[in-house]
Structure formats: C-alpha cells, structure tokens
Amino acid sequence: MNVDQMLRRLPVTGLRTEISRVLPLVVEAGNTALRYYAGDIQVHFKGQGDPVTLADRDINAFLVQGLRHAFPEDAVLAEESADEPATRVHHRRLWCVDPLDGTQEFTEHVDHQWAIMVGLAVSGTAVLGLVYPPTCGQLLLGVTSEGAWLWDDGKWRPLQVSDVRDPGQATIAVSRSHRSQRIDAIIRHMGIRQEVRYGSVGMKVSLLATRQADVYIHPTPGTKEWDLCAPEAILKAAGGEMTDMFGRPLRYNKPDPANPHGLVASNGYLHAAALEAVRQTVLSAQA
C-alpha cells in the first residue's frame, strides 16, 4: 500500500494533519500484523472467550507510542494498554485504538474479517476513523464533517450507505462466532431474510458503509470505546446512524470505556425499525 500516494490523493480538507500522521502508522501496523499472520500464531486468553496474541500487544504498543509522539496534548485509549481514566477524561481529544479487531478471526486465519482501527473523538463524539483490514489491500477512512472513502486499487472511492427502507429487503450483519438467540428474535421481528456473517465489530459496521449490509445490531454489553469510535465515524460519514439500543448517541472518553447498552447501526432509513425490534424483543424481556 503506497502511503505517499494515498496522502497525495487525500480527498479531505479538514483533519489533514491528523490523517497524514495516523495513516502511515495504521498501514505500518498492518504490515506487522501480516508478518504475524503468515506464521504460527500463539494465542493466550485475557478471560473467557477473549483471545490475545503477541501481534495485538506489539501493534498496540507501536500505535500508542506513535500517537503520543504525534499528539502529545491528546489522550489515548487502547485495548491492550493500562487505562488512566482520572487523567484521560480531562482531555478534549481522545484517540481510540483497537490493534486487532477480530482477534479470533486473526488466530484462525480468516481473511478479510479482522482489522486495525484508530478513531478520534472530540468532546465525546467520534469525528475521524480509520479501519484497515490488511488482507483486503483496502482501507476505510471517515471524517464525519466531510464524508467516507475506501482506498482501493490506487484511488479513494467515496462511500455512501444503501437506501434500503424495507426490512424485508435488508441484509443484516451478524457475528461469525457469537450469534445469540436475541439476534434471531430481532431478525424474525423485522422480517429480515438476508444476512452476512463477519467477525470484527468494525468490519461488520464497515459492511454498512460499503453497502454490503444495511443493519447491524449488537444487543448485549461487551463492546468498548475502542471497538466503536473508528467504525462509527466511518458509518456516520457515509450517511448511516449508530446509537445504543435505546437510540441514544454513543459517547466517548467516559470514565468507564465499556458500552453496557448494546449497539444499533444502520443505513439510517432502517434505524427506527431496528430500535423498535430491539425494544420489542430484548428490552421488553429485561423490564
């Protein structure tokens, strides 16, 4: 991937300094990931069903060091780094780093279903996102004030979500390895007949930006700010919508980076129907 060419052809006017410094870091992190991916990946577990590899930790350290050097006045929140919320929350700008989103797919050598993600939140709102699945040779970039693009075959291609309004014609992105009965209930309620299975949260959201899916719902706790910041920026920049299960905006740089109220992502046109399905099938059962 030719970083110089990517930067020369950059289609944005805002946040160019941030992108020019972060994009090379993300691409180099992808090169590191591919070197690990080509070998025998040693897997450890941070907890039940929560794998981690040396690649996660090396990429995490590289990205955090690079971001702190480039933006010493900003805070950084990264999955494999110790968090210091008492200090972090006083910063207006927060970089969210997921060094390998979709570690399970990475360890199982499932191409195109894991990614490196870096997002920027300003005053609690996602404004910039980079999602890089290096096995695809593509990179997604979103600036919420300007738009979203996919770098592919030597050029930036603008992204726009689908205009599907009928749930019966929609495609839902679902988890490759953590499917729940709640999702099945939501699919039945909405009358959705098509689905695509993917691993990484960021990649599932990215499917909406690239019009390969129209809705994605994560109806349980478990996601963190580093899972959501970059893909939200890309999806919103492409015209989509992303909230918690109650329809509330996602907020970043909270003292606790956990997102306990699930996730609803859509092309915007299907958002009300998705929220209603969650209310009827998930939230009503919890009441």
Task: Summarize pLDDT for 149-198 with one digit per residue, the tens.
Answer: 999 999 999 999 999 999 999 999 999 877 788 999 999 999 999 999 99
The Cα 258–Cα 240 span in angstroms is: 22
Pairing of the two strands 93-101 and 215-218? unpaired
Q: Which fold has domain 167-286?
A: D-Maltodextrin-Binding Protein; domain 2 (3.40.190)
pLDDT at 46 over 80: no
What per-residue confidence (pLDDT) applies to 89? 97
Mean pLDDT of the chain: 94
What per-residue confidence (pLDDT) applies to 44? 80
Domain boundaries, the chain: 3-159, 167-286
The Cα 74–Cα 122 span in angstroms is: 10
pLDDT at 287 over 60: no
| Burial environment of residue 131 by CB neighbours within 10 A (0 to 12, 13 to 18, 19 or more) | buried
Give me the residues paired with residue 95 across strands. Answer: 76, 120
Domain 3-159 has CATH 3.30.540.10: yes
Per-residue confidence band for 222, with pLDDT thresholds at 50, 70 and 90? confident
Q: What share of the chain is helix, strand, coil (3-state, %, to 5)?
A: 35, 30, 35
Q: How many residues belong to the chain?
A: 287
